[in-house]
């Protein structure tokens, strides 16, 4: 998976639409991948969680290549469905909640040993905190590192409620993820009970 992502990242690093914005967008990628590598000796996620990380990072790399507000796929969605703006950034924020809540729950269960409703609540709250924290970091990086790139980096597209809507999408993604996990675990639990009764 690391090899696949490295190839995709390198391909999307070639001639991005705005090199300065691309570098800003990748600061957190470097930190995130570095954190995964640094914590590998102490804690390993499941292969499924690493697959979810890979999907999210690919979505982000595509957005960084074009700047989120100018992705061709986002323009296609806008024109096909009559949206008022390029929605690609909202899709990735939704994916942030949908794809990263499962690994957070895995971490909560295996490293923190949380069970029952705590194994749902704590990952959900962590995801919300990470989403809000990202919006804060994004705003400060835009101000400190490169104020002139702020509009491109933040990708607000003229929407004063952009940060709140992005956090909403992440929250919806997290709720859907946890609902799917809960339903899956119920099905597995019922299947095991039936097998025990049959035995």
Could you tell me the pLDDT band of residue 185, with boundaries at 50, 70 and 90? very high
pLDDT reported for residue 78: 96
In angstroms, the Cα distances linking 46 to 76, 88, 136, 166, 171 are 35, 28, 30, 28, 23
List pLDDT tens digits, range 162-183: 888 999 999 999 999 999 999 9
Rounded Cα distance between 107 and 110, Å, is: 5
Q: Does residue 37 contact residue 52 with C-beta atoms inside 8 Å? A: no
Give how many domains the chain has, as a whole number. Answer: 1
User: What number of other Cβ atoms are within 10 A of residue 74's Cβ?
Assistant: 25
- What Å distances lie between residue 123 and 82, 136, 170, CA to CA? 35, 20, 13
| Confidence tier at 148 by pLDDT (50, 70, 90) | low
Instruction: Give the DSSP letter string of 6-68.
Output: HHHHHHHHSS-S-HHHHHHHHHHHHHHHHHHHHHTTT----HHHHHHHHHHHHHHHHHHHH-G
Instruction: Give pLDDT, residue 76.
Output: 97
DSSP tag of 148: G
Q: Is the pLDDT of residue 32 over 70?
A: yes
Average pLDDT, the chain: 90
Alpha carbon of residue 153 to chain centroid: 17
pTM of the prediction?
A: 0.88
Radius of gyration of the chain (CA): 19
pLDDT at 150: 56
pLDDT at site 193: 86
Average pLDDT over residues 93-116: 96
Q: What is the pLDDT of residue 192?
A: 87
Query: How far is it, in rounded angstroms, from Cα 32 to Cα 105?
Result: 17
Backbone angles phi, psi at 115, to 5 degrees: -130, 170
Structural domain including 126 reads 2-198
Retrieve residue 56's tokens. 């999210």
């Amino acid at each position: 998976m690391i090899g696949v992502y490295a190839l995709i990242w390198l391909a999307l690093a070639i001639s991005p639409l705005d090199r300065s914005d691309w570098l800003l967008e990748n600061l957190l990628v470097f930190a995130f991948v570095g954190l995964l590598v640094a914590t590998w000796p102490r804690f390993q996620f499941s292969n499924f969680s690493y697959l979810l990380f890979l999907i999210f990072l690919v979505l982000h790399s595509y957005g960084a290549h074009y700047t989120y507000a100018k992705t061709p796929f986002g323009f296609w969605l806008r024109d096909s469905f009559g949206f008022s703006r390029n929605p690609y950034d909202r899709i990735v924020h939704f994916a942030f909640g949908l794809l990263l809540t499962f690994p957070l729950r895995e971490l909560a269960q295996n490293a923190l040993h949380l069970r029952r409703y705590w194994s749902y609540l704590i990952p959900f709250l962590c995801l919300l905190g990470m989403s809000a924290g990202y919006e804060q970091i994004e705003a400060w990086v835009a101000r400190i590192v490169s104020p002139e790139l702020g509009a491109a980096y933040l990708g607000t597209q003229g929407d004063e409620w952009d940060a709140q809507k992005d956090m909403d999408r992440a929250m919806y993604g997290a709720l859907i993820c946890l609902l799917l996990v809960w339903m899956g675990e119920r099905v597995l639990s019922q299947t095991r009970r039936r097998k025990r009764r049959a035995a």
